[in-house]
Chains A and B, each alone.
Chain A
């Protein structure tokens, strides 16, 4: 998409790319050495991104996390994948955020004890969704399914 920032990444900031996935240093970073893993093709959210490409993106994010842990003096590392109202870009992406002491990153929530009855209801609703999905499998294009198989295969070939 021509006006999507993640479809127009500056070449000099790219740290990894293959035919499906591209990773780069954010030029609007939330913290030092903020790396974003995204897809070559424009997928608006994770919902439209084929499972095989989601899987490969996570594998790439994990490989880059390892590399960051070994090359910069970080004290922690977050992965953050935002969906829907939470997205910073209109394109599927995974944020890799190295953490440093007093870095002022805001990634917190206040845990609040839930009542067992409420948890039970939430569980039932979520399991019900799963059942509906199984009864009504998503229609996939053959091309996509082949792509996924190929992706998964390639994953196991990686060193």
Chain B
């Protein structure tokens, strides 16, 4: 996208503190970092949301994110790392381009990324599962016919 800042950064049209680059992706330092070594990894091609990206590209970015995260651990002796992606403003996305945030974590830092576990009833989980399974089977290419066969097998085993 011609007016996207991140597309321009990836092309080198806007200078950045480059960390990594290959034919598919580009990584550079966040100039307003959450912590020391906070790196942004982006696809060179413009995508607004990660689920719009081809799975192979997401897979490639995931591998690169691993190596950048481990580099930060050995360079700065970080105690941990968050690899974080936001899709949609409700999730905290504030750029029009997919960004993988790689945030090294240190003792006593001010980053507030934390998952708090909640209790949930088993029947609620089963209800959620029933709602999402048709689409999950669809994205993994499991056809309805195969599904019936699998269901039959499962009922037989129970």
The answer to whether A13 and B89 touch across the interface, beta carbons within 8 angstroms, is no
A74 — which chain B residues lie within 8 A by C-beta? 90
A63 in the interface (beta carbon within 8 A):
yes
For A16, A31, A57, which residue has the most chain B Cβ atoms within 10 angstroms?
A16
In the complex, B25 has a CB within 8 A of chain A: no
With contact pairs A56-B59, A123-B18, A123-B29 given, residues A76 and B116 touching in the complex (Cβ less than 8 Å): no
- Are A69 and B93 in contact, CB atoms less than 8 angstroms apart? no
Query: How distant is the Cα of A77 from the Cα of B83 in the complex, in angstroms?
Result: 14
Measured CB to CB, the closest approach of chain A to B147, in angstroms, equals 13
Query: What string of 1s and 0s marks CB contacts (under 8 Å) between A119-149 and chain B?
Result: 1101101111110010000000000000000
A interface residues, how many (CB within 8 angstroms): 80
B115 within 8 A of A: yes
Is B156 interfacial (CB-CB < 8 Å)? no
Q: Are A55 and B112 in contact (CB under 8 A)?
A: no
- Near B by CB (< 8 A), chain A positions 14-44 give 15-16, 25-33
Q: How far is the CA of A25 from the CA of B84 in the complex (A)?
A: 19
Judge whether A155 and B55 touch: CB under 8 Å.
yes
Contact with B along A99-135 (1 / 0, CB 8 A): 1110000111111111000011011011111100100
Q: What is the number of residues of chain B that contact chain A, defined by CB distance less than 8 Å?
A: 82
Most central of B33, B89, B141 by chain A CB within 10 Å: B33
Contact between B51 and A66 (Cβ–Cβ < 8 Å)? Answer: yes
Bound-complex Cα distance A100 to B60 (A):
29
Contact at A46–B113, with CB atoms within 8 Å?
no
A13-B129, A112-B34 given; name 13 further pairs at CB < 8 Å: A12-B126, A64-B136, A71-B131, A82-B81, A83-B81, A88-B117, A97-B115, A107-B114, A114-B32, A123-B18, A123-B29, A125-B76, A158-B55
Return chain A residues, CB-CB under 8 Å to B107: 85
Most chain A beta-carbon contacts within 10 A, residue among B69, B117, B139? B139
B82 to chain A, nearest CB (A): 6
Task: From B20, B30, B51, B79, give the contact of A65 (CB < 8 A).
Answer: B51
A8 at the interface (CB under 8 A from B): no
Contacts of A59 in B (CB 8 A): 55-56, 58-59, 62
State in angstroms the CA–CA spacing of A121 and B128 once bound together.
48
Contact of B79 among A26, A71, A85, A156 (CB under 8 A): A85
Cβ–Cβ < 8 Å partners of A26 in chain B: 117
Chain B residues near A75 (CB, 8 Å)?
88, 90-91
A4 at the B interface (CB under 8 A) = no
Q: Given the known A-B contacts A28-B118, A109-B111, are A62 and B75 also in contact in the complex, defined by CB atoms under 8 Å? A: no
